[in-house]
Amino acid sequence: MLPEHPTSGYCDLQGRRPTIEDFHSIHLKHDHQFYGMFDGHTGNLASKFAASELYGELMRRLPNLENMLTTSKSEGEGVIGDEKYSWKEDIRINITQAFEYVHDQFLDRITTMTSPIVEVGTAPNMDQSGTTATAILVTDNMIIAATLGDSRAIISHSSKNPWKDFPSVSAVQFSIDHVASHPTERDLVIERGGFVSASGGIPRVNGILAVTRSIGDADLAPVLSREPHVLVLDRSEIRELCGSLASDGLWDVMSNQEAVDMVVDIILRENMEMYDAADGPFQEAAERLAVEAYVRGSTDNIGVCVVAVD
């Protein structure tokens, strides 16, 4: 069971798929909060493994996270040798190493498994599941978003007070859609020895997978990337209200702005005591987004997590 808290909510809908392959990871600590969304494919072993392991690996590699921004401001950018040292680059490197480590550990794990056995391509007798990974780490000083694949992380942003100026709230996407239809991503696949061809009208890596970066996917691993898109923001420089993480089951049928408008509307109604949600407005928002995506015809699993970051 994931922790329940009035400032966050999550919902997983199996939707029109025969099984559910989405997993969440939520960790609420006194000095930081972690929210992860993992959208699996070709099974759920990779998404379940990543959901259980990524947070711990990130914390192992970022032990002094809360003090990093404060220290960087007081000391300025340091110089190591002849190269300029950036604390943001240090965070990015460590997060990338954490993603790569979880991927390697998963492949090690499935290599020793006797079941399930799936014979695909050049990696027989090995589970072929893979997963996206989208994570937001919130501290008093900063927001870090790390994303891999096509699950998205967005926030509602306003240059004014969002509680008093609802129309000014806009959606800001923290993530990049790592998909084979993107020219840069396609070129990277080709550089690694793969190819992109359309299947069902959708560009896919080696004609199989729509995403170009993932954890798992043993057979396609040589032509896929494990490097996440990492964004580090100083919270003193932005005015944010809430964040939403969701699998492509939501984004296939809903725009970023539509999602933000729905979430903020629910939160505003709750704030003005116009809305009665037994589990809190963030839980209600997550459920409403997932159901709306289903009603609009989403054919995928629909995983949604809505969190307060103000």
Q: What is the CATH number of the domain that holds 230?
A: 3.60.40.10
Tokens coding 126? 């090995």
pLDDT at 184 (0 to 100): 96
pLDDT at 213 (0 to 100): 98
**Residue 273 belongs to some domain of the structure:** yes
pLDDT at 309 (0 to 100): 78
CA 136 – CA 193 distance, rounded (Å): 32
Element containing residue 143 per DSSP (H, E): strand 142-148
Count of beta carbons in the 10 Å neighbourhood of residue 182: 16
- The domain in which residue 232 lies consists of 21-178+213-308
Element containing residue 50 per DSSP (H, E): helix 45-61
Count of beta carbons in the 10 Å neighbourhood of residue 115: 7
**Residue 195 belongs to some domain of the structure:** no
Q: Please indicate whether residue 38 or residue 166 has the higher confidence score (pLDDT).
A: 38
Residue 308 pairs with which residues in a beta bridge? 242
* C-alpha closest to that of 302 among 289, 310, 43, 153: 289
* pLDDT > 70? residue 214: yes
**Residue 52 belongs to some domain of the structure:** yes
CA 279 – CA 308 distance, rounded (Å): 14
Reported as a single tens digit per residue, the pLDDT across 25-36 is: 999 998 899 999
Q: List all residues 6 or more positions away from 222 whose beta carbon is below 8 Å from its beta carbon.
A: 192, 193, 194
Tokens coding 192? 């690694």
**Residue 41 belongs to some domain of the structure:** yes
**Residue 154 belongs to some domain of the structure:** yes
Does residue 136 contact residue 143 with C-beta atoms inside 8 Å? yes
pTM of this prediction? 0.86
At CB < 8 A and 24+ separation, what contacts does 203-211 make?
Answer: 203/179, 204/180, 205/180, 209/41, 209/130, 209/180, 210/150, 210/179, 210/180, 210/181, 211/41, 211/130, 211/132, 211/149, 211/150, 211/178, 211/179, 211/180
**Residue 16 belongs to some domain of the structure:** no
Does residue 98 contact residue 90 with C-beta atoms inside 8 Å? no
pLDDT at 111 (0 to 100): 84
* C-alpha closest to that of 209 among 238, 231, 233, 178: 178
Reported as a single tens digit per residue, the pLDDT across 120-138 is: 444 445 789 999 999 999 9
b/e map of 202-224 (b: 16 or more CB within 10 Å)? ebbbbebbbbbbbbbbbbbbebb
Reported as a single tens digit per residue, the pLDDT across 216-248 is: 999 999 999 999 999 998 887 776 778 999 999
Q: What is the DSSP string of 227-277?
A: --EEEEEEGGG--EEEEEEE-HHHHTTS-HHHHHHHHHHHHHHHHTT----
pLDDT at 235 (0 to 100): 81
The total of structural domains in the chain comes to 1
Average pLDDT of the chain is 85
**Residue 12 belongs to some domain of the structure:** no
Which residue type is seen at 91?
A: I
Mean pLDDT of the 140-160 span: 88
